[in-house]
Structure 1
Amino acid sequence: MKLNLKIFSVFCLTLLAISCGNADDDVDFDFNDKGELGKGTTVDDCLGFGENDLILSIQEQYTAKPSKVSVFFKVSDADGNPVVGLVEDDFTIYEQGRNDDCFNKISTTESSKKISPNGQIFNNSTLLVLDLSKSVLDSSLDELKAASISFINNVMPEEEDKSDSFTMSIHWFDGEDKLHELNPLTSSRDELVSAIESITSTISSDASTDLYGAAIRSTDLASKYLEDNTAKDVIGAASVVLFTDGTDQASRYTKAAALKKVTDADPNISFFSIGLGSEIDAEILKELGKTFSVFATNKEELETTFNEISTKISERANSFYLFEYCTPKRDGSGTSNLVIQVKKQNREGAVQTKFSADGFTGGCGL
């Protein structure tokens, strides 16, 4: 089957918690960087599906006894926009065993299925990076603080998440050759808000702006967050949100070096930029914020622009799904092919993968 798809950026931001009991010990949770369908493949022509309007990109999959199959994937449209709000009834399962010429639809009487809550499967680490050079402190600090607090409230859960599904750190820069930490990575909304409230006009007296250095260092920090997740055998993603009201004045690093750092970054890092006023270079900020950029013409528009970015981050986090079902395949039936199809309103898409039923028995429940 032909797929007429546009390549989309992989950003989001997600953690897979092993909550399925006896998951296979040799599962290697490694975030997908293999293209549109991830670890999946195109669906066999025998099913007669049309072109994909929705793209299911498999990030990871695993099995758990007695007969549970779990597939972790993201859903987007053909333009790469995240698709949120999918529920169990939007999905149909097809299996093909070794005795089947084509796939058979698995009915609800043969198999239960569910979408796991986001809190069990996502970790979304956000780096909020603020320009606190003298021009911002002198002219728009109050508005920036209000916008940042609104951003935090929109991205972070109201109640502190003990599973660390959503975390955020706050950093700032001026003309110094340093990315200052205002608050380390935390899941506490109150802690982040307090950090923003603590910013005063005396936090910096540097009138210069090391924008390129900030972009380079925040990318390195986001990469470290991903490495830390990998070391814990979990899947993670990060978002860098960079705010400035000007251009790079410090000239410590070249534009080419900053853009290369962003361009070559891990595909699981999303980049957002927010520009304020007439002294910014919109084209450069669009390149530094390669996932999405937004601009405020005056300080009164800051909160609106920050909220627009927070919406984008939330959409990406909520376009990841852990789909689980109890397969009727049993021990001795070998490796089976699996197709997951999603239909939402007038759009649909499907992806194919396979699993082994070794050791599977009855008694599965979700």
Structure 2
Amino acid sequence: MGIYTFSMEIKRTMKMHMIRTFLLIFGLTGMFLSCGNADDDVSFDLNGNGDLGLGKPVDDCLDFGPNELILSIQDQYTTLPGKVSVFFRVSDEFGNPVAGLTADQFTIYEQGRNDDCFSTISSSESQSRISPNSQIFQNHTLLVLDLSNSVLSGSLTELKSASASFIDNVMPAVPAESFQMAIYWFDGEDVLHELNPLTSSREELIAAVESIDSDFSNDPSTDLYGAVIKSTDLATDLLRDSEQNNTIGAASIVLFTDGTDQASRYSESQALDKVEKANSNISFFTIGLGAEIDSEVLEEIGKTFSVFAGNKEELEVTFNQLSQKVSERANSFYLFEYCSPKRDGSGENNLAIRVQHGGLQGAVQTSFDASGFTAGCQ
């Protein structure tokens, strides 16, 4: 073989090697990209371990089929003499929260080390129940109101009525420390003003709304993007405080405006980036009024849910529509408890919880240690 022919052969070999390497890298890249979650809003876990939170898919031996409801485990623990407690959130496969579930809609399955598959545990004998979750869960709502001059002079009466109705719908009739709301307002200043601090009292919040008058501000400008950024920071701090107090926290930001950002103190991209990168435990809702809003921007800010009122007469209906969504999310967290028949010495046991609701089903699997378990659980 001549030097020229040998050189050409080396080039062809190198070229084929480079093509194969490129195809391998391209294939691996495609595989990693295809494994990602295309819809971030489907994931509601508080613990960052996928849609199921601390749980995992149930064993194939149960043959439940695909999950149409997602049970995302947030926390779990055992209490002697034999109680198992699991705190989780329920949503449908599209990420919509599922509220109002009762204990009889859940079925418990346990698997010990001598069991080939899971056995159903009697709901009546195990005294399964949905328990108050106030000891381990804090839900905060931040109502953020645009009180620039256009609102105060044009739709204040309607806004006050709609806000009071919202508070009435979202806050529990019986005050509970685990459900609190604060009210803030903004105009053109580089300040997010506090109208009322966090409280569990409906009356206190409604009184704060009633105190708003036309003299609150004479600023015709609107620092909308600043309000988004500052309220997100406040919600982030609340979640951090909950974590430091060994409780699980969730927050909802509900922002009302009748216009666009006029102050130009912060950019649209800064505000949207703040929302996009926010803790996944923060939900964002927006309410827009009138023809001067930018509905596309408000939908991006209110990535959880957005509503719009064409005129001030529609404002209360619009607030009520949104209040239902806020309440559903807050009430889609459940503390499910039951008395296990497993006893001390049985070691680590697998647990599966299945929920059935409206013709849909979903299940999640976890495990628990029965060390010290005896009779007498109530």
Aligned counterparts, 1:75-224, within 5 A: 75-108=90-123, 110-117=125-132, 122-161=137-176, 164-224=177-237
What residue identity is the alignment partner of 2:243? T
Assess, with a 3 A threshold, how the Cα gap between structure 1 residues 165 and 223 changes in structure 2: closer, same or farther: same
The separation in 2 between residues aligned to 1:196 and 1:107, in whole angstroms, is 49
Is this contact kept in 1: 2:80–2:377, CA < 8 A?
yes
Matched, 1:357 2:370: yes
The separation in 1 between residues aligned to 2:72 and 2:152, in whole angstroms, is 43
Question: When the two structures are superposed, what TM-score results if normalisation uses the length of structure 1?
Answer: 0.90
Assess, with a 3 A threshold, how the Cα gap between structure 1 residues 6 and 327 changes in structure 2: closer, same or farther: farther
Aligned-residue offset at 1:120: 5.8
Aligned-residue offset at 1:5: 11
Q: 1:8 aligns with which of 26, 41, 49?
A: 41
What residue number does 1:307 align with? 320
Matched, 1:336 2:369: no
Aligned counterparts, 1:32-43, within 5 A: 32-43=47-58
Q: 2:89 aligns with which of 54, 66, 74?
A: 74
Aligned counterparts, 1:14-33, within 5 A: 31-33=46-48
- 4+ runs of 1 displaced by more than 4 Å? 4-7, 9-12, 118-122
The separation in 2 between residues aligned to 1:168 and 1:110, in whole angstroms, is 39
Any idea what SS the aligned residue of 2:247 has? coil
- Higher percent of residues as helix: 2
Aligned-residue offset at 1:11: 6.5
Any idea what SS the aligned residue of 1:147 has? helix
What residue number does 1:17 align with? none
Pairs aligned (count):
342
What residue number does 1:231 align with? 244
What residue identity is the alignment partner of 1:227? R
The separation in 1 between residues aligned to 2:232 and 2:111, in whole angstroms, is 43
Aligned-residue offset at 1:160: 3.0
Aligned-residue offset at 1:318: 1.4
| Higher RCO (C-alpha under 8 Å, 6+ residues apart) | 1
Aligned-residue offset at 1:85: 2.0
The separation in 2 between residues aligned to 1:42 and 1:8, in whole angstroms, is 20
Assess, with a 3 A threshold, how the Cα gap between structure 1 residues 166 and 332 changes in structure 2: closer, same or farther: same
What residue identity is the alignment partner of 2:373? F
Aligned-residue offset at 1:81: 1.2
Aligned-residue offset at 1:118: 5.6
Question: When the two structures are superposed, what TM-score results if normalisation uses the length of structure 2?
Answer: 0.87
Aligned-residue offset at 1:117: 3.5
The separation in 2 between residues aligned to 1:311 and 1:100, in whole angstroms, is 44
Unmatched tracts of structure 1, length 5 or more: 13-30
The separation in 2 between residues aligned to 1:9 and 1:117, in whole angstroms, is 26
Matched, 1:267 2:300: no
What residue identity is the alignment partner of 1:82? P
Is this contact kept in 1: 2:136–2:247, CA < 8 A?
no
Unmatched tracts of structure 2, length 5 or more: 1-36
The separation in 2 between residues aligned to 1:75 and 1:215, in whole angstroms, is 28
What residue number does 1:296 align with? 309
Aligned-residue offset at 1:157: 2.2
What residue identity is the alignment partner of 1:207? P
What residue identity is the alignment partner of 2:53? G
What does the per-residue CA deviation read over 1:185-221, in whole Å, with 9 as the maximum and x for residues that have no partner? 1111111111111111111111100000000000000
